[in-house]
Amino acid sequence: MCQLSKVQIYTPSKIIQLILEGFEDKVLKSEVLWDCLTCNQCLKDCPENINFADLARMARYKMRHTTNKNVEELIAHKGVYTTISEIMSRPYINPDRNLDWVPKDCPISDKGNLLYYVGCLPFFNYEHDKVDSIAISTLQILSKIEKEPIVVFKDEVCCGHDLYWGQGKLKTFIKLAKKNLEMFENAGVSTIVTACAECYRTLKIDYPEIFEDFSEKFEVKHIIEYIYEMWKEGEIEFISSSELSEEISFTYHDPCRLSRFLPKENNITEKVREIFKEFEKLNYKFNEMAHNKSNSLCCGVNSWMNCNEKSKALRYKRMLEAKDAGTVMVTSCPKCRIHLSCLQKDYENLASIEIVDFSEFLIKHIKIIDKNNKKEESE
Amino acid sequence: MPEAKNKAVKQDFEPDILVFCCNWCSYAGADLAGVSRFQYPPNMRIVRVMCSGRVDPSFVLKALKEGADGVLITGCHIGDCHYISGNEYAKERFEKLHRIIIKQLGINEKRVRLEWVSASEGRRFADLITEFTNEIRGLGPLKFY
Ligand code: SF4
Ligand code: SF4
Ligand code: SF4
């Protein structure tokens, strides 16, 4: 069932039917396709495999040119963040990012093998708290495990996700993609790690559709996958942090981009749960929310579009589920964290839930297995 | 954008500047500059807002995106705001905009400026515009291809 229909009248099947019956113009004119959350829930349930979210994206491209409606009104924060992305797409703009957040013990470079693609986090600092800590913990994890310095760009540009999905700005998206590709090539990277669900989906699925050999040249990994692999290869183990005395129950919010937007063989949702299972040994208790994995509820704001009372209701539903499931809510999308914790300012009863990013959650619990030591022991 | 191309090629580059003026002080200051016939360069366009606190950072960003070479926000002096603290709010937001967004975008910070101009400072308004225009002229166009 459509997620949006939980809070307003919205029937994707009816819209599809109208289009099939030849009323495409009417549908476009009615502007209903601006409302869709592009959460992909309906694709999962659709017997005919109709990708409604993608349809909404393409319709937005068309609607922008035909509509009289002021699209800007639909964008959250008066469009600050999407305008930033657009400015970055210009060929004459060379971002000069603040790298003060980089911890002293994490060597970084501008050329190398493994790139940490930070995403727009440094810009979110503008209004949202503690977003740096996601970048810090991700980089700390990476530098703990890797021997070489991690590549972090000072002039990294946006991946373009929000413009692509939110406003159907295909041309700007392609400009950004080209800029990114050029930077990846110049730096000679072969692996790209990101902690953002949206960047991940964009680099993994959308870029290869524009550049044929993208997936041959670069391997894109979400930090979950990266940690999972390292763990399976026996490079790291999970330890309990000394501060823990009593059992902590926690839950996981699946971002739509990781649970419904990836091909079937990509089982990130299972991998992350396997890691959490391991955490049960460390005095943690993992509980599922009522809606989980590919059924998980949306945070309500996609690509900074349509932040209104309806999307607030969606967030409220999600937070209630989280409250039932535990005291800590882990997520792996920085924006999910931003939107969900935004709600906590308005509702005291929800303020007790601690919302953390996957990397922030793990950083205290990762230990490198020292292979040399082991060898000596066995000898 | 052919116009922008010309802008860069042209030797004597004329910048496009957007000025936000608050209704109670700066706009009156601009008015005074006009009636007193103080000369200043014609490169700027004024947008009148009720208070400098009304200027959302997104306005500034959109102006830069749409081709402004410089943006100037003006308001009443601190303590003189018609709405008591609108300009303090503007200052706070502006500092964040500067430090977190403009700088990180790699745009020269001098292109975006916040200044206080009161209703009696017609002379100052004219001088400010002249100085700001010259500064932007020196920096060259924001857009170049
Ligand atoms: S993508 Fe989500 S919001 Fe849009 S129609 Fe499908 S279920 Fe509804
Ligand atoms: S913020 Fe998270 S849940 Fe919301 S649209 Fe983005 S990935 Fe999906
Ligand atoms: S939920 Fe909060 S942080 Fe997210 S778009 Fe809306 S106002 Fe902004």
Q: Report the CATH number that the domain containing residue A121 is assigned in CATH.
A: 3.40.50
B72 vs A247: which has the higher pLDDT: B72
- What pLDDT was estimated at residue A127? 87
A340 lines ligand 3 (CB under 6 A): no
Q: Which neighbouring-strand residues pair with B46?
A: B19
Find the closest chain B residue to A85 by CA distance.
B105
Report the alpha-carbon angle B7-B12-B14, nearest 5. Answer: 55
Chains A and B form CB pairs within 8 A to the count of: 60
Residues A293 and A349 both lie in one domain: yes
Ligand 3 center to residue A187 CA distance, Å? 34
Nearest Cβ partner for A95 among B61, B96, B105: B105
Number of domains in chain A: 3
A83 within domain boundaries: yes
Residues A147 and A102 both lie in one domain: yes
Residues A223 and A247 both lie in one domain: no
Please name which of A6, A22, A7, A84 lies closest in space to residue A304, comparing C-alpha atoms.
A84
Residue B113 near residue B73, CB atoms below 8 Å: yes
**Which atom of ligand 2 is nearest to A302's Cα?**
5
Non-local CB neighbours of A14 within 8 Å, separated by 6+ positions: none
Answer whether residue B4 shows pLDDT above 50.
no
- What pLDDT was estimated at residue A374? 55
- What pLDDT was estimated at residue B2? 42
Nearest Cβ partner for B105 among A87, A125, A127: A87
Nearest Cβ partner for A84 among B61, B143, B145: B61
The Cα of B88 is separated from the nearest Cα of chain A by a number of Å equal to 17
The CATH topology of domain B17-139 is Rossmann fold (3.40.50)
Residues A257 and A314 both lie in one domain: yes
Query: Strand, helix or coil at B99?
Result: helix
Answer whether residue B23 shows pLDDT above 70.
yes
A131 lines ligand 3 (CB under 6 A): no
A379 within domain boundaries: no
Residues A81 and A228 both lie in one domain: yes
Query: A83 and B96: CB-CB below 8 Å?
Result: no
**Phi, psi torsion values for B111, nearest 5 degrees:** -70, -20
Q: What is the pLDDT of residues B46-80, one digit of tens each?
A: 999 999 999 999 999 999 999 899 999 999 999 99
A325 lines ligand 2 (CB under 6 A): no
The residue nearest atom 6 of ligand 1, judged by CA position, is: A42
Residues A85 and A195 both lie in one domain: yes
Answer whether residue B3 shows pLDDT above 60.
no
Which residue, A190, A215, A232, sits at the end of a domain?
A232
Residues A84 and A29 both lie in one domain: no
Which residue, A188, A209, A232, sits at the end of a domain?
A232
From A228-242, B42-56, B74-88, the region with the lowest mean pLDDT:
A228-242
A322 within domain boundaries: yes
Ligand nearest to the CA of A258: 2
Residues A211 and A256 both lie in one domain: no
Answer whether residue A209 shows pLDDT above 90.
yes
B55 touches chain A (CB under 8 A): no
Q: Which residues of A touch B105 (CB under 8 A)?
A: 84, 87-88, 93, 95-96
Q: What is the pLDDT of residues A321-369, one digit of tens each?
A: 999 999 999 999 999 999 999 999 999 999 999 999 999 999 989 988 8
**Which atom of ligand 2 is nearest to A338's Cα?**
1
A163 touches chain B (CB under 8 A): no
User: Which domain range does residue A300 map to?
Assistant: 236-368
Please name which of A63, A62, A34, A40 lies closest in space to residue A53, comparing C-alpha atoms.
A40
Percent of chain A residues topping a pLDDT of 90: 71
Ligand 1 center to residue A50 CA distance, Å? 11
Nearest Cβ partner for B101 among A84, A91, A93: A84
A343 within domain boundaries: yes
Which residue, A69, A86, A118, sits at the end of a domain?
A69
Establish whether this prediction's ipTM goes over 0.85: yes
Residues A31 and A97 both lie in one domain: no
- Antiparallel, parallel or unpaired: β A248-253 and A219-222: unpaired
Summary mean pLDDT of chain A: 90
Ligand 3 center to residue A342 CA distance, Å? 6
Q: What is the pLDDT of residues A132-189, one digit of tens each?
A: 899 999 999 999 999 899 999 999 999 999 999 999 899 999 999 999 999 999 999 9
A151 lines ligand 3 (CB under 6 A): no
**Which atom of ligand 2 is nearest to A298's Cα?**
3
A76 lines ligand 3 (CB under 6 A): yes
Find the closest chain A residue to B96 by CA distance.
A126
Find the closest chain B residue to A127 by CA distance.
B96
A181 within domain boundaries: yes
Nearest Cβ partner for B105 among A91, A93, A125: A93
Q: Which residues of B touch A155 (CB under 8 A)?
A: 106
Optimal mutation site among A70, A96, A101, interface B, most CBs of chain B within 10 A: A96
